[in-house]
Chain A
Amino acid sequence: MATALAQRQAGGGVFRLPRWLAGDHPFPWLAPLTAMLLAFGVYPLLYAVWLSFQERSRVTRQFEFAGVRQWATALADDRMWGALQTTVVYTLACLAIQLVLGMAVALLLDADRRGYGLLRALMTLPLVVPPAVTGMMFLLMQDAQFGVLTYGLVQAGLLDPTQPLLGASSTALAAIMLADVWQWTPFMVLIFLAGLRALPKEPFEAAAIDGASPVQAFRYLTLPMLSRVIAVAVLIRSIDLFRIYDYVYVMTGGGPGTLTETLSFYAGRIFTLANFPYAATLSLIVLLVLNAAAMLFIRLTRIRF
C-alpha cells in the first residue's frame, strides 16, 4: 500500500517518498518504537551503569571516575543487605497471602448467580486508588491515637495500646503489608477469575460423575489447568512487590530504624540526598536480583510468552 501511495504521489508530481520508506522494508515501522526504547529504556539503563562507576564529590559536586568502588561499598553495606532481606521477606509474604486469598476469593466469585457480576466489578476499585493514597489511608487507620484499625485491634485485645502498629519493630512491616494486600489481592482475583472462567466444563462434569469431591476437583483439575495463569500472576506480582516504594515512603519512612527499609526505598533515599552514583548502583542491584529471580522462575515454571 505504501508503495502504491508513493507511485501515485510520484505520478502526480507532488513528491517521491525515499525508496527505503516506500518499500516493504520493516525499518520505517519499527523505527518509532526502537527510538522510544532507546530513549526511555536503553539510554537510562546505560546512564545508570555509567553513574555506578562514578563518585560525586561532596566538595566539588562533580562526578569523578571511581571504578567499582560503589559496587564494593554496596556489597559491604550492612544496610543494603538488611534492605534486601526486608524486600525478600516482604515480597514472599505478600505474594503468599495474595496468592491464597486471591484464589479463594476468585473461587467464591466464579459463579453466575445474581449480583456476582457487580461483586466482580467492585473488586477493581482498590486497584484504581494510587498506592500513595492507599498508604495514606492505612497510615491514618493505623495511627496509634486516632486510627480506627488500631482502635479495633486494641478493643479486641489483639494489640498493646502502647505499641504503635507502625512504630513497633514487631508489627511495622506487617502493617505495611496490610495495605499492599488490600490493594493488590483484587488483581490476583481478577486474573484467576479470568482463568477460571476460561476452563472447559467437561472435565469437571466427568469428575463429578466419577464421584470426585470439590476439593479433589480443585486439586487435580483446577490447579493443574490454571498453573500457567498462576505462574504469570505470580511473576507479575513478584516484580511489582520487589520494587515496593510508595507504602514505605508514606507509612514508615523505612523505620523504625531501618526495619521496613526496602531496597528501592533505600535507593530512593540515597537519591534524594544527591548521592546519585550510589543510588544508581543500588537500583542496578534491584534490577539484577529481579532479573535473575524472574529468569529462574520462568525456567522452573516453563512459562512461554
Chain B
Amino acid sequence: MSFREHDRKTFIADSARAYAQRRIGKREFLRRMGLAGVGFSAFAAGFLGGQRPGGGLRISKQALAQDSGPDPEMMKWLAEVGRPFAGTTIRYTSEATPPTIVLSQLVKDEFTAATGINVEIEIVPLEQVLQKATLDVQGQLGTYDLYYLDQSWIATFSPDMEDPRAYYDAKPDLAMPGFDWDDFSPPLVDGIAKFEGRLVGIPFDIPIAILMYRKDLYEKHGLKVPTTMDEYMANVKAIQAAESASGIYGTTGQMRSGHYSLECEWTIWLWGNGGSIFNASDMFSGGDEEGIRGLEYMMELSKNCPPGALTWTWDGQGQSVTQGIAGQLVSWGEFFPGFDGTDSKVVGLMEAAIPPTPTRVRPSSEAGFGEIPHIGHQGGSTLSLSKYSSNQEAAWLFMQWATSKDVVARGCVLGGGASPVRLSAFADPRTKEAARVGPGTTRHFPAIEYTINNMMGSEPDFPAWAEMANNLIPVELGKYLNGQTKTAEECMAAIEGPANEMAAPFRRT
C-alpha cells in the first residue's frame, strides 16, 4: 500500500469513527467522504440517516469504511468459474432486509466485478415479494432467478425451488470450495429452510425474538431482568406505572390489524404461555386453555403499549423504542443495532437478553404441521433458486457467494449487526470487534445465538399457511384488540373454523 493510499484509508477510518461517535454530522461525514473519493448513492446515504426504524437496515459507517474487503481466494474462484456466464443478467426479488441491503451494496464491486454476471435486485415490501413469487411460479415464468422466501412460505414454494444441497452435489464444477454446509445453525436449517426433509433454500436472514430492555429504567426502578412470563409482565406494569407520566410506556407492539406482524406478535405470547397454533391432529388449537391464556396475555400487554402500537407493524415498534417511549419488549433482535444508531434517543441504554422462560413449552410432537412452539419466534428467510430460471447456474454462483462465510460475517457488521445465519459469524473477529455501543453493534449476538439454539419457535409449514398468517389470523386478532370481538374465546373461535377448513387438504390424519 502506498503512503497516499494509507493516508486516504486512515482519513476515511478517522472520519467514520468521528461520525459514529457523533463528533461530526452526516453532512460533514459525506463531505469528507467526497474528499476521499468515496461515493454514496442517495439510497445508501438515506440509511446513514436512519430510514427504516429499528435499525436493521442501518449500515454502520465505521464498518463501511473499515470493511476488511472480500476474501481473495473466493474472488479468485468466482472469477474462474464465473467466466462462462459473463454478461448474463440474473434477477432477484426481496424485502428490504439487512442482508439484501448489504448484497445490493457489495454485488457490483465484488460479485459482478469478479464474474461479469449482472444482478438486478428488486426490493419491494414483503407482501409484494409473495405476490411476485406466486405469479411467477403459477405461470412457471422464471421472471426471477432467485427469491427471498419468508419461512412461512416455504411449504408453498417448495415444489418450485431447487434443493440447494442436491444442486451443490450435482454441480461439482460450480460448487464453492469450503462452502461448509455444517456451518449453518441446525435449528435454523430445520426451522427456516426445510420442508418435508428437503431444503428449499439456504438460510439467509434470521430476525428472531429476544428480550430488549432499558437498562436505565431497570436500574432506576430496581427491576431485574425477567426470567419468567410473570416477571416480564410485572416489569411492564412497573415501568408503565412509574413512567407513563413522562411519556414512557411499559412495552410496545407490532399490532397493526390485518398485518402479518400481528400474527408474529401473537405467536410469541401464544407459545410463551404453552400454546400452539395447531395440535398433533393438525387442528387449530389457539382456542385451548393455553391459547386463550396467551391471547389474554397479549391483550394485557397491549394496554401497556403506546396507543400507536395498534397501528404499527414491526417498523413502528422498533421506532418507538428508538424514540425512547418504551421500556422493554420481546421482539426482533435485528432492531437492536438501531437502538445504538445515530438517530436513536436510547444509545447505550438498551440491553439484550434471552427471552423469559415460557410458562410451559408445548413439545413439537404435540403441535401440528412441523410447528415448533417456543417464545423465540424466528422470522427467518431463505435465499432460494427458482426451478424455472433460465440462468440457473449463474444464479447459483450468486447464491453461494451471498451465503458464503465471508459475506455472511461481513454482512453482520455492514448490515448493522443482523443475520448471523452461520455459526462462524458469531465467532468471527469482525463481529466480535463490533460488539460495543455504536451503530451496527453486535452486542446482542450472544442473546441471538442462545435463542436460536435453545428457545427458537417456528411457525407451521403447509401450503395454506401463508394465506392464514397474512389474512385470517391477523384480521381476527385486530378485531379483538380493537374491541370488535369481545372475548379471547370469541376471537379464537372465529379463526378456528376457517383455519381448519384451509388446513384440511394438507392434514396428515
Question: Which residues of A does B touch, CB under 8 Å?
Answer: 58-59, 61, 143-146, 161-164, 166-169, 252-259, 261, 269-276
Contact = CB atoms under 8 A, between A and B. Distances in A.
B10 interface: no
Nearest to B310: A167
Contact of A258 (B259, B306, B325, B479): B479
By Cβ-Cβ distance, the 10 closest A-B pairs, closest first, are A255-B257, A144-B308, A257-B479, A167-B310, A256-B482, A274-B134, A167-B311, A144-B307, A257-B484, A273-B467
B217 to A, nearest CB: 18
A274 B482 contact: no
A255 B313 CA distance: 12
A61 B138 contact: yes
A207 to B, nearest CB: 52
24 contacts: A58-B463, A143-B308, A143-B311, A144-B307, A145-B323, A161-B307, A163-B307, A164-B310, A166-B311, A169-B483, A253-B257, A254-B475, A255-B311, A256-B257, A256-B479, A256-B484, A259-B482, A261-B258, A269-B258, A272-B470, A273-B467, A273-B471, A274-B131, A274-B134
Nearest to B255: A167
A255 B256 contact: yes
Contacts of A161: 307
A145 B506 contact: no
Contacts of B325: 145
Nearest to A253: B258
B222 interface: no
A139 to B, nearest CB: 8
Most buried by B among A58, A254, A256, A272: A256
A21 B258 CA distance: 57
Given A58-B463, A146-B308, A253-B257, 16 more contacts: A145-B306, A145-B325, A163-B307, A164-B308, A167-B308, A167-B482, A254-B257, A255-B482, A256-B310, A256-B481, A256-B484, A257-B475, A257-B479, A258-B258, A270-B471, A273-B467
A145 B248 CA distance: 11
A275 to B, nearest CB: 7
Contact of A269 (B134, B471, B485): B471
Contacts of B97: none
A259 B467 CA distance: 20
B320 interface: yes
Contacts of A255: 256-259, 311, 475, 478, 482
A22 B428 CA distance: 77
B307 A58 contact: no
Contact of A257 (B128, B131, B138, B257): B257
A261 B471 CA distance: 12
A270 B134 CA distance: 12
A175 B488 CA distance: 28
Nearest to A161: B307
B311 A144 contact: yes
B96 to A, nearest CB: 15
Nearest to A168: B482
Nearest to B138: A61
Given A143-B311, A164-B311, A271 B131 contact: yes
Contacts of B467: 273-275
Interface size class of B (residues with CB under 8 A): 35 or more
B455 interface: no
A256 B471 CA distance: 13
B464 interface: yes
A258 B475 contact: yes
B330 interface: no
Contacts of A261: 258
Main secondary structure of the interface of B (DSSP, over half): helix
Interface in B443-480: 463-464, 466-467, 470-471, 475-476, 478-479
A168 B483 CA distance: 9
Contacts of B256: 253, 255
Nearest to A273: B467
Nearest to A164: B307
B505 A59 contact: yes
A271 B131 CA distance: 8
Contacts of A274: 131, 134, 138, 467
A206 B467 CA distance: 67
Contacts of B71: none
A106 B99 CA distance: 52
Nearest to B252: A145
A252 to B, nearest CB: 7
A145 B320 contact: yes
B239 interface: no
A152 to B, nearest CB: 16
B121 to A, nearest CB: 21
Nearest to B462: A58
B90 interface: no
A167 B256 CA distance: 8
B421 interface: no
A275 B128 CA distance: 15
B308 A169 contact: no
B479 A167 contact: no
Contact of B308 (A58, A145, A271, A275): A145
Contact of B478 (A163, A257, A270, A271): A257
A270 B506 CA distance: 20
Nearest to A63: B138
B81 interface: no
Contacts of A167: 257, 307-308, 310-311, 482
A237 to B, nearest CB: 27
Contacts of A272: 127-128, 130-131, 470
A257 B482 contact: yes
B257 A162 contact: no
A159 B134 CA distance: 42
B482 A58 contact: no
Contacts of A257: 257-258, 475-476, 478-479, 482, 484-485
A169 B482 contact: yes
Contact of B306 (A144, A254, A259, A269): A144
B463 A59 contact: yes
A146 B316 CA distance: 10
B502 interface: yes
A256 B259 CA distance: 10
Contacts of B476: 257
A146 B470 CA distance: 27
A162 B506 CA distance: 43
Interface in B81-131: 127-128, 130-131
B38 to A, nearest CB: 31
B318 to A, nearest CB: 13
B506 A59 contact: yes
Given A258-B475, A274-B138, A162 B307 contact: yes
Contacts of B131: 271-272, 274
A237 B457 CA distance: 49
Contacts of B127: 272
A255 B363 CA distance: 34
A143 B316 CA distance: 10
B303 to A, nearest CB: 10
Contacts of B134: 274
A60 B230 CA distance: 46
